[in-house]
Every structure is written in C-alpha cells, then in structure tokens.
Chain A
Amino acid sequence: MPDKRVPDERGRIEFTKEMRKTYKILFPNMAEIHFRILQNVLRAYGYNVELLTNDGQEVVDEGLKYVHNDICYPALLTIGQMISALKSGKYDLDHVALMMSQTGGGCRASNYIFLLRKALKNAGMGQVPVISVNLSGLEKNSGFQITLPLLRRALAALTYGDLLMLLANQTRPYEKNPGETDAHVDRWVQEICAQFLQGKGFQPKAIKAQLGRIVADFETVELLPVRKVKVGIVGEIYAKYSPLANNHLEEFLRSQDCEVNVPGLMGFMLFKVDNRLDDIQLYGGNPLKKFVVQALFNYLRVFETYTLDAVAASKRYHKPASYLEVKEMVRPLVGYGCKMGEGWFLTGEMIELIQSGYENIVCAQPFGCLPNHIVGKGKIRQIREMYPQANIVPIDYDSGATRVNQENRIKLMLSVAREHLHDA
C-alpha cells in the first residue's frame, strides 16, 4: 500500500524515503549527452530513474489536453511527455514519481511544476508525486535530497556534457569517416559513467585531467578540409536543446550541411547564480548571502575554466568565451538586472557567437515567450546595428507552428549565410 499520500494545501504529495526504495522516477529529456550521464549519476545514488524520450504527436496532444493552451510550449511538451508516458501502461502508477526542475524566477516557467500537478489530477493520476529539483529551497522531499556528493557528481556530469557536446559539434561535420565522432561520444559517456560508479572521475583534479584526455582523443578523429556554414543556436533553454521542442533543429541544420554550435549549459548555471549577486549589487542585500553565493559562483567557475583550458590546449578546436567575458560583451546592450528566464545571457550568447565567427544564428523560442520578447527579438535590431554581418533568425516553436514554415525561414537564413561564406 502506498503511504504518506496526503497532499498538502497546495496539492503536493511529498516524495518520501520509503518511496525512494520502490518507486521509479521519470524525468524529461533536454540536452541529450548531459542527461544521459546525469541519469547514471542518479542511478548510482539508488534512485531508480528513467529518462523520458517518448516523442511525437501524442506528446503534444496530451499536453494540449491537460495544459492551458496559451502556456509556454516547453511546459506543454514536458507535461505532455510525462502524461503520455504514464498513460502508456509501462509503469505502475502507484510506484512511479516524476521529477522536474524548478527555477523560481519571475518567469512563468517557475510554475511548471504546479501545472504538472494540476494536469496529473485532471488526468486521474493525482497520486503520482512530483519532485521539484531546485536550488532555491522552494520545495523539499525527504526521499529526494540534493546532497553535496550528489551535487558534485551532477556538476561533473554537466562539465563533461558541455565538453563532449562542444567537441562533437566541432568535429562531426568535418569527420572523414561518418559516425566516428558519435562513436567517440558514446565511448566517453560509458567510460565516465563507469568511473562514477567506482567513485572516480568527479573530483576536480580528476575532471581536469580527464577533460584533457577527451580533447586529445577527439583530435584523433580524421577531418576533411572543407568549409561549412557555421550556425549557432541560442534561445529559451528547453527550446534551445530539446529536439522535441525545436523539431529536431540540430539534425535539420546538419542535414543542410552546417556546423552547429550550441553553447553549453554551464554558462546558464553561472548566470542563474550570478543573478543573485547582481540583485544585491543593484538593490542592496545581505552581505552574508552575498558571501555564500559568491563562493558557489567561484566554485562553478573552476569547472568552467577546466573546460575552456582543455579546449584552448587544442589547436583544432575553437574555445568559446568564458561566462565573465560574455557578461562584459553584453554590457552595452542589456542591464545585468535583466534576469528572468535566460535574461541578458541570451543576448550575450548571440554576441559571443557572432564574435566567434558563428554569425548565423537561430534564436529558438517558444511562441509568446515573455523574456524572449525582451532579450531575444527585442535585442536583435541593436545587435544587427553593432554587428552588420549578424544573420539572425528568430523561430517560434509551438504546437501550431508547422515545420515547413520553420524550415523555410531557416533556409532563408542559410541562403544568406552561404552567400557570406562564398563572398568571404
């Protein structure tokens, strides 16, 4: 018999210690490489987790059915994906929980988790607990705690994920033997997961050394001397990474013979931590809080530096700008107080890409995304003025927007990009 199934006044069911033993936890996919490693980290900690990869129309349909249709597309999709999975019959509804991240900013995304609970209730699956993954102390569960050891491994997963994604993106379009890059990625993901299980590979020193080995290993992939159109992807965090949300954007761009650059997740993490420092700077605040946040920020930066140093050691790979460099680049364009959603960091990533030679950019946003009115579409004009070579196309994603229209617009961007490549 399930126990402790009494919802609190907000309809929340706690995920208890007892549940941890017998429950399967489902969580939605976003950035593929990162989440594959993360899944293994959680498993190593005794959580019976499963990464959801179900795709297709029924995900959208379930989302439309159980979520307000005007809500952001990412909410609609993740919730649709979870409900569709629960309805598939693959899981015992009395022994399954869902996990979702919660940011807690001024963006409506902080409400996803509540929308998910509401949807579950309407779908007659109100007994399924939802675990909030947040660092703001918004909700707590006795059966799921983000402990320091877990956090360290998650951070390592993030760091490895960013590097592998970067290397893969810069190698795959030029590889001589098709499939070689992906084979490298797979091997490293397996290797890293195995190390984690043995309690290795996530200590700072180990990470540092291993990042170097990974870069060296990717350098062995034989390349062809060809030039390709370079395209960067920025946007709302989920629409940027998740193929489910962006209609397999990366795959499409690759099919159009492009090199794709998707900036890593670490920058976004640093941004979210740094926000708190900027808030204190702008409006005043508790010095102790500032000290703690600053320490966390510095800690994260160590890992960012490892990644960047590893890339810089290679002649072959392009090193992206660091978080603080991006922050400096964006200074003339957006105030640092602009923090909801992706905030100024989205604008910053566009500039970083342009300065790095990825002047062709797809800005992926869910239809009607509020922060993107400001830092996406709202800033493109000024970016174009500052960087005339910038070739940016904002693409809206939602259940009604069709792929043919999206691809047509991207193709226009690519026609101009090819012209630039030709003229250069």
Chain B
Amino acid sequence: MTATVVTITSGKGGVGKTTATANIAIALAELNKKVVCIDGDIGLRNLDVVMGLENRIVYDIIDVIEGRCKLKQAMIRDKRMEELYLLPAAQTRDKNALDPKDMVSICNDLKPDFDWILIDSPAGIERGFQNAIAPADEVIVITNPDVSAVRDADRIIGLIEAEQKGPARLIINRVNAAMVKRGEMLDKEDILELLAIKLIGIVPEDENVVISTNRGQPVVLETKSKAGQAFKNIAQRLLGEDIPFLQFDEKEDIFSRLFGKKHSGGS
C-alpha cells in the first residue's frame, strides 16, 4: 500500500479547509480506505475539534519530530471509523517548529500503511503552507464564491505551480444557490474561468456544517445534509470515479417547494 498525499489549501482563511479535510477523510474511510489526516496548522489547530477528537490528544506532530514519542503513539484513531487516524498539530508552538523536510519524512513513514494522507494546510503563503505542500502528490484548492477568496485561490494556485505540485483541483465551498441565481454571488463559471483549473466539487452553504462542527460530528455523517453529500462526491472523485456535478437550479426549486423557505443550497 502506498498512500496518496493530498494537501487541502486555500490561501485565505475561513473558507473551509479544515471542514473539507475532516469530511473528505471520513467519506474516504466510509469507502473502506485507510486514511490519516495531518493537521498542518501548528499553533492554531482545529482539525481535532472538527473531528471531535480533541480530548484524546496525548502527543502531537512536533513531539514526533522532536523525538518525544513514536509516530504511532501520536496518531489518534477516530471514534467512529476503524481505519481513520488523526495526527494532530501542536497548539503551543508555531509553524517554524516544523520544516518541509519533516513533513516529507513523516508522510514517507505513513505511506506504506495507508491509502490516503490528507494534509490540512494553514491559511497563508508562508512556512505553514510550504510545510503542507512539500509532501503533496495532489493538491486541492478550496475557495468560496467571493472575490477575495477567489483572488487568494489564484495566488495560491500560482505558488502551487511554482512548486511544481500542480495542477491543483478546486472545491467551491459555501455556494448559495439562491444568491447565485439572483446574480449576487460569483457562479461556478466565473470562478473556473479565472482560476482555470479542474473542479473536483461544489459544496452548498449548509447550516448543518456549523452545527456539526460544534459537535465534532462532521456533516458527511449526516445522511440528509446536502453539504455532506457533496463531500461524499468529492471523495469518490478522488478515487477516480466520474460523479456528475449536481445541478444547482433544479435542486433549489425542489427544496424551496419542499420546505417553503430559502434553504441553504443545492449540491
């Protein structure tokens, strides 16, 4: 078994890197893949919270690098999935505690035992980003349908190309179908035209994401969530399956009718 290393990054903060990492990891695990997530956000760790594994942390990635524990000791097994692990970040250190060489060597140690290694990149274009991108075999750029997030995505795609890690694939997260329809939000075509990379998923805006994040129960586990379904689709596309992108407008109409309210997206 040789794992594929996928780095999820965005440039801008708050667009959904951590949420996407957690959800894609769980979706892959549900498809019977062995998955490990690495939280690359040293000093501002969140992935453990989103995955609901915060209180299980004993050692972290810096402890591994600095030799205080073995790699296996720092890895936390998910409470729901047999074959899903988290390698948490250190909270009391900063990005400079790690360098790209360390990330590459950790991934090389993990590769034989897993199918997928997902790295949750921190925001920004500095050391943390460089650490996260160094071991990547594939890169997923995540953006929101707003001008500033897309601008930052463009910047980060340029840096990924410069590191010769491209071509990256794109997730457009938090798409509000109603707003797109009213022309108040950038639509898929606008974004793809500017960024000129392949799309791997569109995730609708979904209130369930906030609720599930607070509960540490990623939305992909909720069968009814549209966002959860979108993340499942992304996981299947990562596995090379050809899953069509669901049409926004039709969904919007059906859901408005069903729930009689301005719901939170289609998929």
Q: Is chain B found bound to chain A in the same assembly?
A: no
Which residues of B approach A to under 8 Å, CB–CB? none
> Which residues on A are within 8 Å of B, measured CB to CB?
none
